[in-house]
A and B are shown apart, each in its own frame.
Chain A
Amino acid sequence: MLKTFKIGGVHPAENKFSAGKQIETLPIPDMVTVPIAQHIGAPSTPVVKKGDEVKVGQLLAQSAGFVSANIHSPVSGKVFKIDDVLDSSGYKKKAIIIKVEGDEWEETIDRSTDLVKQTDLSPKEIVDRVAQSGIVGLGGATFPTHVKLAVPQGMTAEMLLINAVECEPYLTADHQLMMEKGAEIMVGIDLLMKAIGVKKAIIGIENNKPDAIKHLSQLAKEYAGVEVCALKVQYPQGGEKQLINAATGREVPSGALPISVGCVVNNVGTAYAVYEAVMKNKPLFERVVTVTGKSVSKPSNFMARVGMSVSQLVEAAGGLPEDTGKVISGGPMMGKALVTTDVPVTKGTSGVLIMREEEATRRTMKNCIRCAKCVSACPMGLEPYLLMTYAEKKMWEESEDSFVMDCIECGSCSYTCPADRPLLDYIRLGKGTVGQIMRSRKK
């Protein structure tokens, strides 16, 4: 029996059309838009001004607090302006717009493809390098990685978990990266283990990627303490708490972080970025992005620089199909619907999913028939039907008592509901309001 998390979950159609497609590097556009808020936490502070010349990899904006991240230039050229532009959240946010001239990299960056394995950097130095390079969680949550690597006082990390689950349907960015950059990823994992001081790492991969499981298992033989754990395909296994539960059987307590059960979880793409940052001195300014969809003529995996327009990626994948109804940044379960494709790729853009018109609209909601499918689908053991009712009736206290804050917003409830009820929409409303109430209580 393959391992998986203990409760709930759904299995949506995988539709991994771009699986096995080589990662293509896209041409550099004439102009890039680099938002200063690409991560969870405080937006960074720009350190360049209009008219400044920048090189690839040069610092554009500095981390503004503990939970924040540096942002580096993905291109060389001149800062055209710093202005508010529409980003993938649908709001206008501050971004640094650069007019591209050539492709001149910072000299410190090692651009060779040689694999570097040895380093005498201390754990602290590794974490510092990660922080300087502006690395954030590349699974989509974009939590600054150096913060995760800083194990809090009084807690000890026992093991590193590498999230290579890619449980979102359609997306193949991590899968393809593992196939092409497996050796580099293993070095990255080694560095992460050193950084947090653990001797054990588990790479969690779902069983729908047998080639990646085989490839990484083969590579892992060279590394003591690193093992690959094949997991049953079950969404949302890529959720941090679900992955820990699936791979180790441990349960992260409500409201606590993975470190409370001795685990530090990082995405496989992040491990690659750590390798590049530490061994190649290359800050994070490009990533693999899957562009896919049922009508997309050329589903692809691209190496895209941050700040490129999503529409450029879409064009490279064969253009926006006639019947497009919705464009999603990320996967279909947790991704964000875009207002327009004229938004920049950011560190968190794992995929661009183009949905047809008939897939884009929701069916009309019916009465709840109390089938309890949402209850059995919820990976956190919540009662989505009840949380929705509480939110509808503005019963915030009851919402809090029913653990609304434990919801990970995976969408399994809405996905599974036969009465087409927008359960997660209401639960988000409850989470937002209860969160506010809790914060105001602390003050």
Chain B
Amino acid sequence: MSKFLTISPSPHVKGEESVQKIMLWVILAMVPAMVWSFVVFGMGAIITTSVAILSCVFFEYAISRFILKTENSVGDLSAFLTGMLLAFNVPSSLPIWMIIIGALVAIGIGKLSFGGLGNNPFNPALVGRVFLLISFPVDMTSWPVNNNSGVDGVTGATPLGLVKEAISSGTPISQLTDQVPSNMDLFFGNIGGSLGEISAIALILGALFMLYKKVITWHIPVSILGTMFVFAGLLWTVDSEQFMNPMFHLLTGGAMLGALYMATDMVTSPMTPKGQLIYGIGIGIITISIRVFGAYPEGISFAILIMNAVTPLLNRYCKPKDFGRRAK
């Protein structure tokens, strides 16, 4: 027999999974919320999304090709996804040049400076978002009012911002009922806010798809949202004039987007279910603390970044289910 055979250690077969497919599933999962943002915010949303995606992909390509001189990793779709997530996290009225800066920070500093996908300790899109929020606080918190309810171009506060302002000026919550949108409006996304965060239902739909595709497990979303609900609920029981009801906290701001899409990022979240639960509880507590006691009306981005930093520690101490070693 003259033919050369390939030699390699087992296993000799490979599953269907690939990094690219995982990224693709997440991107597909985000489509409903993206479409909803186009409906609600119109051209602004379309431009913001396109610019964010294009610039993220461009920076990924340019930095890895010309600066790092590594293999071009645009094909794994992770830059595309980061762009989409970044767009989801900014108002549709954000000036284009700011979006580009956000993309540069997300891809350049958030990801490639650490060695590319897999090595970044923090969620790149959130690094971009928080950079923008701190650098351009006014632009990042001027929300175009929902097209369905007002004139295009008018800006207003998000429900969370509104409540924060009222409470800090001493107005009791019972006097805000006219200004705060109903839970139904919050659920379907008839509110102002960042592009992708407004419709809970669209986000949940996508998350169900991710669960089905096993891109995420229930541990992180449930522990974050559960903790937020319990913590906010306790505060609300103590004083419903000072603190909003727990459903409001779940449906406003970036709670859904953060819990379902940002905190579940594989690279920056813990590996074992136990670690994921602790991570989720941490995010829930920090988020509500910032919302209620902090200076910012919304805190989930900070909460996720803080818990991202704790992730290596959680991986160290939260070991997987054990087989035959309990006695040791």
Q: A residues near B, CB below 8 A?
A: 6-7, 10, 12-13, 90, 169, 241, 245, 251-254, 256, 311, 320, 324-328, 330, 332-342, 353, 355, 357, 359-363, 366-373, 375-376, 378-383, 385, 403, 406, 409, 411-412, 414-420, 422, 424-425, 428
Q: Which of B82-90, B113-121, B141-149, B234-242 contacts A (4 or more CB under 8 A)?
A: B113-121
Please, which residue of chain B has its CB at the minimum distance from the CB of A325?
A: B6
Contact of B10 among A6, A7, A424 (CB under 8 A): A424
Other than the known A90-B7, A385-B271, what 10 A-B pairs have Cβ atoms closer than 8 Å? A7-B321, A311-B1, A328-B12, A337-B7, A337-B8, A359-B13, A370-B266, A370-B268, A380-B324, A403-B325
List 7 tightest A-B contacts by C-beta distance, closest first.
A411-B11, A367-B118, A418-B17, A372-B271, A360-B6, A381-B323, A371-B266
Say yes or no: B320 contacts A382, CB within 8 Å.
yes
Does residue B69 face the partner (Cβ distance < 8 Å to A)?
no
Q: What chain B residues lie within 8 Å of A330 (beta carbons)?
A: 10
> A369 and B15: CB pair below 8 A?
no
Which residue of A is nearest B270, CB measured? A372
Contact (A418, B13) CB under 8 Å given A251-B323, A383-B320: no
Select one of B1, B11, B117, B319 contacting A424, CB under 8 A.
Answer: B11
- Taking CB atoms, residues of chain A closer than 8 Å to B9 are 337, 422, 424-425, 428
Contact yes or no, A325 B5, CB < 8 A: yes
Interchain CB contact under 8 A, A254 and B325: yes
Inter-chain contacts of B5 with A (CB < 8 A): 324-327, 337-340, 360
The answer for the CA separation of A353 and B12 in the assembled complex, in Å, is 10
Which residues of B in the span 255-277 have a Cβ within 8 Å of any Cβ on A? 266-269, 271-272
Q: Is the interface of A mostly helix, strand, loop or mixed?
A: loop
* Contact among B19, B269, B323, B325 for A379, CB-based, below 8 A: B323
Please tell me if the beta carbons of B14 and A369 are within 8 angstroms of each other in the complex: no
State whether B324 touches A416 (Cβ < 8 A): no
B113 to chain A, nearest CB (A): 14
Is B65 engaged at the interface, CB distance under 8 Å to the other chain? no
Give me 8 A-to-B residue pairs in the complex whose CB atoms sit less than 8 angstroms apart, sorted by A's number.
A7-B320, A13-B13, A333-B11, A366-B118, A371-B22, A381-B319, A383-B320, A411-B10
Is B266 a contact partner of A369 (Cβ separation < 8 A)? yes
Which residues in chain B, 271-328, are within 8 Å of chain A measured between CB atoms? 271-272, 319-328
Residues of A within 8 A of B323 (CB): 6-7, 241, 245, 251, 254, 379-381, 406
Q: In the assembled complex, which residues on chain B have CB atoms less than 8 Å from the CB atom of A339?
A: 5, 7
Distance in angstroms from A392 CB to nearest chain B CB is: 14
List, in ascending order, chain A residues with CB within 8 A of B3's CB. Answer: 320, 324
Is the CB–CB distance between B22 and A372 below 8 Å? no
Residues of A near B174 (CB, < 8 A) are none
The smallest beta-carbon distance between A136 and chain B, in angstroms, is: 20
Closest A-chain residue to B311, C-beta based?
A: A370
| Partner pick for B267 among A90, A370, A375, CB 8 A cutoff | A370
Name the residue of chain B whose CB is nearest to the CB of A250: B324
Interface centre among B14, B119, B269, B321 (most CB of A within 10 A): B14
A417 to B326, CA, bound (A): 27
State in angstroms the CA–CA spacing of A334 and B327 once bound together: 29
Complex CA distance for A180 and B31, rounded to whole angstroms: 55
**If A241-B324, A367-B116, A370-B118 touch, does A335 touch B1 (CB 8 Å cutoff)?**
no
Please tell me if the beta carbons of A252 and B10 are within 8 angstroms of each other in the complex. no
Contact (Cβ within 8 A) A12 B13: yes
Q: Are A337 and B12 in contact (CB under 8 A)?
A: yes
In the complex, the answer to whether A415 meets B14 with C-beta atoms within 8 Å is yes
- State the interface size on chain B (CB cutoff 8 A): 40
Q: What 1/0 mask marks residues of chain B from 102 to 134 whose CB sits below 8 Å from any chain A CB? A: 000000000000011111000000000000000
What is the 8 Å Cβ interface bit string for chain B, positions 241-255, against chain A (1 contact, 0 not)? Answer: 000000000000000
- Determine the chain B residues whose CB is within 8 A of the CB of A381 once the complex forms: 319-323, 325
> Is B18's beta carbon under 8 Å from chain A?
yes
Q: Are A367 and B115 in contact (CB under 8 A)?
A: yes
CA A254 – CA B35 in complex, angstroms? 52
A415–B13 Cα distance when bound, in Å, is 6
- Assembled-state Cα–Cα distance A381/B274 (Å): 13
A385's closest neighbor in chain B, by CB?
Answer: B271
Contact B328 A254 (CB under 8 A): yes
Contact between chains at B19 and A366 (CB < 8 Å) = yes
B325 to A, closest residue via Cβ: A254
Nearest CB in chain B to that of A8: its residue:
B323
- Assuming the contacts A334-B11, A337-B5, A382-B320, asked whether A419 and B118 have C-beta atoms less than 8 A apart, the reply is yes
Cβ of B324 and Cβ of A370 under 8 Å apart? Answer: no
Using Cβ atoms and an 8 Å threshold, which residues of chain B touch A366? Answer: 19, 76, 117-118
How far is A381 from B272 in the complex, measured between Cα atoms in Å? 10
Instruction: Name the A residues within 8 Å of B19 (CB-CB).
Output: 366, 369, 418-419
CA distance A239 to B327 in the complex (A): 22
Chain B's closest residue to A354 (CB) is B5
Task: Name the residue in B11, B15, B115, B271 with the highest tally of chain A Cβ atoms < 10 Å from its Cβ.
Answer: B11
Residues of A contacting B325 with CB < 8 Å?
A: 253-254, 381, 403, 406
Residues of A within 8 A of B267 (CB): 369-370
Could you tell me the distance between the alpha carbons of A254 and B327 in the complex, rounded to whole angstroms?
9
Instruction: List A contacts of B321 (CB < 8 A).
Output: 6-7, 381
Q: How far is the CA of A339 from the CA of B3 in the complex (A)?
A: 10
User: Which residues of B from 145 to 176 have beta carbons under 8 Å from A?
Assistant: none
Contact A361 B6, CB 8 Å, known A10-B15, A328-B12: yes
Interface residues of B in 43-95 (CB under 8 A from A): 76
Contact B1 A342 (CB under 8 A): yes
Whole-angstrom CA separation of A409 from B327 in the bound complex: 23
Set of chain A residues within 8 Å of B327, measured between Cβ atoms? 253
Given A333-B13, A381-B322, A383-B319, A368-B1 contact (CB < 8 Å): no
Chain B, residue nearest A256 (CB):
B324
Docked CA distance A109–B1 (Å): 37
User: Which parts of B15-38 form the interface with A (CB within 8 Å)?
Assistant: 15, 17-19, 21-22
